[in-house]
Amino acid sequence: MRRLSDPPSGLAEKLKRTLLLYPCDLLFVHRDAEGVELEERCQEIRDAVSNVWRSISVDPLPAVAVVPVRMLEAWFLLDEAAIRRAAGNPLGRQPLDLPRPDHVEQLPDPKQVLFGLLRDASGLSGRRRRKMRVRECVHRIAELVDDFARLRQLPAFVAVEEQVAQVVTDRGWR
């Protein structure tokens, strides 16, 4: 949204704009917990979604709250193969010091850890390493993860999976 000429502010406004720009059948709403309890952040999302449905003339869609404990980037720290592919060096042999799954949600700045791992995985040096577009690589990781087993060790990820399963069941999409 920040790339729009008039980006919306506030969660409800962002949701409205998202629905106008990207019609969907299932809405995923991402908010990092950042020190707020999971249930409190989920309630914030539910309230914003309810406000949106009341304010626009659209049938309510199911919404899944995606609330990582720290930052979504922490979840990306668990898939070495996806990191290497996103960095453009899938066969690289540089050792990557990935955090243990039980530590990723306690990292003070998982985004910076991920940026460093992407640079290391790229195998680049000097100017090319400094000019690497790591933010673009981060977006690629989400597309490249093909095994979510390690993420199932994280309660916040399990909560997302459970919500998706419930929506699929409720909507008869199974």
The domain limits of the chain are 11-69+154-171, 72-150
Determine the pLDDT at residue 127.
95
How big is the chain, counted in residues? 174
> According to the model, what pLDDT value does residue 23 have?
87
* Spans of the chain below 50 pLDDT: none
Helix ranges (DSSP H) in the chain: 11-21, 38-55, 72-76, 80-86, 110-122, 126-130, 134-144, 155-171
User: How far, in Å, CA of 121 to CA of 77, rounded?
Assistant: 12
Backbone angles phi, psi at 30, to 5 degrees: -95, 125
Task: Give the position of tokens 């039980």.
Answer: 102
Cα–Cα nearest to 84, from 43, 137, 121, 40: 121
Give the pLDDT of residue 1.
Answer: 81
Query: Are the beta carbons of 139 and 114 closer than 8 angstroms?
Result: no
How much is the pLDDT for 60?
A: 82
Contact 106, 68 (CB under 8 A): no
- pTM score above 0.85: no
The per-residue pLDDT for 128 is 95
CB atoms within 10 A of CB 107: 18
**In this predicted structure, what is the pLDDT of residue 38?**
85
CA distance 163 to 66: 9
Phi and psi at residue 171, to the nearest 5°: -85, -5
What pLDDT, on the 0 to 100 scale, is given for residue 88? Answer: 97
Q: How far is residue 116's CA from residue 126's CA, in Å, rounded to a whole number?
A: 14
Instruction: Give 29's strand partners.
Output: 65
Q: What is the DSSP letter of 10?
A: S
d(CA 139, CA 59): 30
How far is CA 95 from each of CA 14, 115, 120, 121, 159, rounded to the nearest angstrom? 40, 15, 8, 8, 32
